[in-house]
Amino acid sequence: MLLDPRLDSESTPIIDLPLCQVRLSHNAAFPWILLIPKKDGLVELIDLTPTDQQRLMQEIAVASQVMRQLFRPTKLNVATLGNMVPQLHIHVIARYETDAAWPGPVWGKMSETYTPESQLERIQLLKDAFQNHPISSSNSSLKQAYDLSLEASQEGFDWELPLQAASKVQEEIEEVMAELAKPESLMRQEALKEEMGDLFFACVCLARHCTVDPDQALFDGMKKFVKRYERLKSFAKERGISLQNTPRAELSALWQKLKKEAGE
């Protein structure tokens, strides 16, 4: 990526996401980061491919979640201007009712400089938050699988309907089940890995057909599981129930009971 000299001089890199480099603005008056797609020749959002437009929206969401988690702002300002620096870049700025520019924009209002120590501390804080975020730290193979299936679709190698993609998922599940029915062996383990890889790829293809981001779907699924599991643990603790010593059938029935009570 060729970086505009002004962006280079006014910000410092924090971390690379699949599409964007995240950078810290040198203006210490506000918690302020930039997202810069790592592709040359981009000026407008519409210069990105449809796939990269979706990826950018996801990475903006990740950055916004990180900024809100760390800085608890009154409002997040998310903007792409480019009047002075045409290279496509997105600002994510934490704003407070108490800041000097509130409620107006921050542009040209005030500027403070980080000390070397405070800048390193802020960069590490942000880097840790991004690395620990479930989406940005998730395996990029999901994105690669999505992009590969999209490329194949654009060349005409694809199903016409989501139900056809769903049938392929079912087919791959049956192949995994067939491997599981075989005796334990190193060969079976390798075959299982291969069949499960096919299953995961088929699920990503199904997600694309349903216009569902697989990263976001996985993240939401994990959040749902954590919420339900914490509810289960709290229920068990209140009643002195040992999850480890409870038969699986009873645990399953309790799981379903708590889901129903929560209206899920």
pLDDT in tens, 93-142: 999 999 989 999 998 878 899 999 999 999 999 999 998 876 655 546 77
Token code pair at residue 263: 């209206």
* Strands 75-79 and 20-25, bridge-based pairing: unpaired
In this prediction, residues 181-196 reach a mean pLDDT of 91
Half-sphere CA count of 247, side-chain side, radius 13 A: 3
The confidence score (pLDDT) of residue 134 equals 65
Q: Which residues contact 208 (CB under 8 A, 6 or more apart)?
A: 146, 149, 150, 153, 214
In Å, what is the CA distance from 20 to each residue of 16, 93, 145, 210, 243? 6, 16, 19, 25, 43
Question: CA 229 to CA 216: how far, in whole Å?
Answer: 20
- pTM for this structure? 0.56
Task: From 66, 72, 126, 68, select the one nearest 98 (Cα to Cα).
Answer: 72
Q: Domains plus CATH for the chain?
A: 5-132 (3.30.428.10), 139-212 (1.10.287.1080), 224-264 (no CATH)
Contact present, 163 and 205 (Cβ < 8 Å)? no
The confidence score (pLDDT) of residue 136 equals 57
The confidence score (pLDDT) of residue 140 equals 60
Contact present, 169 and 203 (Cβ < 8 Å)? yes
pLDDT above 60 (res 214) = yes
pLDDT in tens, 27-62: 999 999 999 999 999 999 999 988 789 889 989 999
In this prediction, residues 2-25 reach a mean pLDDT of 93
Q: Which residues contact 159 (CB under 8 A, 6 or more apart)?
A: 165, 168, 205, 209
Does 215 or 254 have the greater pLDDT score?
254
Q: Which of 134-138, 148-152, 154-158, 233-237 has the lowest average pLDDT?
A: 134-138
